[in-house]
């Protein structure tokens, strides 16, 4: 008898706590009427339907902490402060040329690395992963082969993406 009361009590308590957490955590724009009833044993019941002997709760909708959505209008360009350090055109051109040269060197290195990665991928396809059984037979290890090929493919993909990004950066100079 005592155990059934405890299980029943904790079950109802868990439901009430879950309901309360849901009500507190809900941050929607809709509102509903909430009713609360405390029975003779002290058990609290919440409902969105009027309960005999229940009391309607005055629950204020939560204050939204979400930032307002910005409008689609473009931002006005902020003027450069008068005391901001200035670089003359020749110095800026030299900096841009140096940056472009570095990007070109990185692009060439990535193209070389991509070619090496493609060769490794092709070689990896031709060499299956195998193992020997206890009786000396050779078997293919498909899982290990797939893992190896995924790794090689990821390397190829990474170099292709790097080349794409470097090229995009270089195109911004034109």
- Each residue's pLDDT tens digit, 95-144: 999 999 999 999 999 999 999 999 999 999 999 898 888 999 999 999 99
Residues 10-22 have a mean pLDDT of 57
pLDDT band at 173 (very low <50, low <70, confident <90, very high): confident
How many domains are there within the chain?
2
As a dihedral over the C-alpha atoms of residue 47, residue 53, residue 58, residue 64, rounded to 10 degrees, the angle is -10
In this predicted structure, the answer to whether residue 8 has a pLDDT above a threshold of 60 is no
Please give the pLDDT value at position 165.
95
Is 123 among the domain residues?
Answer: yes
- Answer yes or no: do 97 and 138 share one domain: yes
- Answer yes or no: do 53 and 93 share one domain: no
Is 125 among the domain residues?
Answer: yes
Is 127 among the domain residues?
Answer: yes
Is 36 among the domain residues?
Answer: yes
Least confident segment among 3-17, 41-55, 97-111, 134-148:
3-17
Look up the pTM and report it. 0.50
Is 6 among the domain residues?
Answer: yes
Least confident segment among 75-84, 103-112, 140-149:
75-84
DSSP-assigned beta bridge partners for residue 46: 36
DSSP-assigned beta bridge partners for residue 38: 44
User: Please, how many CA atoms are within 13 Å of residue 81, restricted to the half-sphere of its CB?
Assistant: 3
Is 82 among the domain residues?
Answer: no
- Answer yes or no: do 101 and 49 share one domain: no
Which range of residues forms the domain containing residue 41? 2-24+32-57
As a dihedral over the C-alpha atoms of residue 127, residue 132, residue 137, residue 143, rounded to 10 degrees, the angle is -60
- Considering only CA atoms, which of 174, 171, 167, 172 is closest in space to residue 107? 167
For residues 65-75, one letter each, b for 16 or more C-beta atoms within 10 angstroms of the residue's C-beta and e for the rest, the string is eeeeeeeeeee
For residues 140-174, one letter each, b for 16 or more C-beta atoms within 10 angstroms of the residue's C-beta and e for the rest, the string is eeeeebeebeeebeebbeebeebbeebeeeeeeee
In this predicted structure, the answer to whether residue 152 has a pLDDT above a threshold of 70 is yes
pLDDT band at 148 (very low <50, low <70, confident <90, very high): very high
pLDDT band at 39 (very low <50, low <70, confident <90, very high): confident
What is the distance between the alpha carbons of residues 74 and 26, in angstroms, rounded to a whole number? Answer: 34
Please give the pLDDT value at position 42.
80
Please give the pLDDT value at position 54.
82
Domain end residue (candidates: 16, 42, 57): 57
- Answer yes or no: do 94 and 137 share one domain: yes
Is 72 among the domain residues?
Answer: no
- Answer yes or no: do 46 and 110 share one domain: no
Among residues of the chain, what percentage have pLDDT more than 90? 42
pLDDT band at 169 (very low <50, low <70, confident <90, very high): very high
Is 154 among the domain residues?
Answer: yes
Residues 35-45 have a mean pLDDT of 81
Please give the pLDDT value at position 147.
94
């Amino acid at each position: 008898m005592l155990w059934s009361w405890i299980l029943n009590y904790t079950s109802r308590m868990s439901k009430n706590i879950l309901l309360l957490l849901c009500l507190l955590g809900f941050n929607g724009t809709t509102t509903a009427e909430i009713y609360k009833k405390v029975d003779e044993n002290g058990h609290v019941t919440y409902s969105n339907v009027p309960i005999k002997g229940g009391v309607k709760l005055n629950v204020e909708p939560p204050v939204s902490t979400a930032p307002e959505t910005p409008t689609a209008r473009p931002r006005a360009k902020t003027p450069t402060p008068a005391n901001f350090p200035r670089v003359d055109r020749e110095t800026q051109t030299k900096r841009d040329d140096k940056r472009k040269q570095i990007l070109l060197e990185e692009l060439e290195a990535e193209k070389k690395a991509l070619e090496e990665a493609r060769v490794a991928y092709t070689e990896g396809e031709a060499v299956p992963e195998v193992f020997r059984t206890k009786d000396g037979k050779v078997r293919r290890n498909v899982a290990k082969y797939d893992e190896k090929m995924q790794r090689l493919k990821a390397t190829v993909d990474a170099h292709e993406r790097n080349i794409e990004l470097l090229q995009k950066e270089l195109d911004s100079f034109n």
